Amino acid sequence: MNITVFGATGQVGKRIVQMALNQGHHVTAFGRNVESLIDRDNTNELLTAQKGYLFNEKDVAKAIEHADVIISVLGGASDGSDKTRSLGIKHIVEQMQKKGKRRIVALGGLGVLNAEDNTLILHGEEYPEEYLAVGNEHLKAFETLLESNLDWTFFCPADIKDKEETGIYITSLNYAPEPNHFRINAGDLALEMLKAATQSEYIQQRVGISNY
């Protein structure tokens, strides 16, 4: 399978890239600093590291040219001051639609999941004010996917820890998992996102995820 990863050098993205290569997939890793992914002593012929700019249409179009599935794990400032998450997804979706691509697995945040009253967690009175800005960035990204004709999956974790996979975690659809410990190892998140991408799971669903 040909997989394009946006946000390939982040703590989740770099793990997705390595896991996908280990599984024998062809990976296009996209980013401004993707050189860091290439080990000159152990070059993997399945890896294409494409240096590019997310807001450049030609760069994004080239990155997804041969992709069977796109994985977006875009990050950004925690205060929501940049628009990498929302505008990045917008540019990716536009190019996917132009090229007839269908499958995307993307990373959001806990606030975009449903609360018990079918509002969003983001809009609840108890949602921390310091996370509102970045939560709204995730919401805009989700709305872009929702308005598209794509086969999307939107992962919505709480705190992502820079730790390896354990395989011990729980997922849920559209609501936060129970029990929810409000944390997920980057390795476990990468593992489940790649699994969803390669096995066509959670089509047009939001996914809550938490370590036990």
- What burial class does residue 209 get, using C-beta atoms within 10 Å of its C-beta: 0-12 exposed, 13-18 middle, 19+ buried? buried
Q: What local confidence, expressed as pLDDT, does residue 40 receive? A: 53
Query: What range defines the domain where residue 197 resides?
Result: 2-211
Q: Domain tally for the chain?
A: 1
**Which CATH number does the domain housing residue 148 bear?**
3.40.50.720
Q: Is the pLDDT of residue 159 over 80?
A: yes
pLDDT tens digits for 93-145? 999 999 999 999 999 999 999 998 879 999 998 898 888 999 999 999 999 99
13-68 per-position pLDDT tens digit: 999 999 999 999 999 999 888 877 766 545 688 999 999 999 999 999 999 999 99
User: Whole-prediction pTM value?
Assistant: 0.94
Burial 154-165 (b: 16+ CB within 10 A, else e): bbbbbebeeeeb
pLDDT of residue 156: 98
